């Protein structure tokens, strides 16, 4: 796995993401991603959000990339967060995933803690274990 040890600027983050998504040796592959089959699944771990540079990570987030056989759409998600992003490109899917997670995080964080359900409180704790602003 490729490990990023600095806090790069946005362009470096985008370049890093593009590079690891293309290099087989940089990925933990859950099924053969370079098969001639049009559908595949790839698992990577990210230590930053490309589109939200102010979010600081405490530990890597597992991202599962999938590409549909029929539609060719990319799906990026995290089962623990129960959040996903879908797009025509991996970058679009990642952007939607990041927006969903960050929006949900700030919505929960800004809410009256006493009015949150236990599931919402648990999710906020999970988010807090991975990152903060």
Residue at 45 is within a domain: yes
Decide if 5 is inside a domain: no
Show the 3-state SS of 37-87.
CCCEEEEEEECCCCCCCCCEECCCEEEEEEECCCCCCEEEEECCCCEEEEE
70 domain-assigned: yes
Region 5-15: what's the mean pLDDT?
47
The answer to whether position 38 is within a domain reads yes
Q: pLDDT for 43-100, tens place per residue? A: 778 877 888 888 888 889 988 888 877 777 889 999 999 999 999 988 899 999 999 9
Looking at residue 18, its pLDDT comes to: 53
Query: According to the model, what pLDDT value does residue 15 have?
Result: 55
Give the per-residue pLDDT at 34: 38
Residue 1 falls inside a structural domain? no
Please report whether residue 114 resides in a domain.
yes
The range of the structural domain enclosing residue 78 comes to 10-132
User: Per residue in 92-124, pLDDT tens?
Assistant: 999 999 999 999 999 999 999 999 999 999 999
What pLDDT score was predicted for residue 7?
Answer: 41
What pLDDT does residue 26 have? 36
Composition of the chain by helix, strand, coil, percent to 5: 40, 20, 40
Total of domains in the chain: 1
């Amino acid at each position: 796995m490729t490990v990023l040890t600095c806090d790069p600027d946005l362009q470096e983050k985008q370049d890093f993401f593009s590079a690891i998504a293309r290099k087989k040796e940089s990925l933990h592959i859950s099924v053969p991603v370079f098969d001639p089959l049009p559908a595949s699944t790839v698992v990577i771990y990210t230590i930053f959000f490309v589109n939200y540079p102010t979010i600081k990570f405490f530990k890597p987030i597992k991202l599962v990339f999938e590409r549909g056989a029929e539609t060719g759409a990319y799906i990026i998600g995290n089962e623990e967060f129960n959040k996903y992003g879908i797009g025509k490109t991996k970058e679009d899917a990642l952007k939607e995933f990041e927006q969903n997670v960050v929006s949900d995080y700030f919505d929960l964080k800004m809410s009256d803690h006493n009015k949150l359900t236990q599931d919402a409180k648990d999710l906020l704790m999970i988010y807090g274990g991975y990152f903060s602003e």
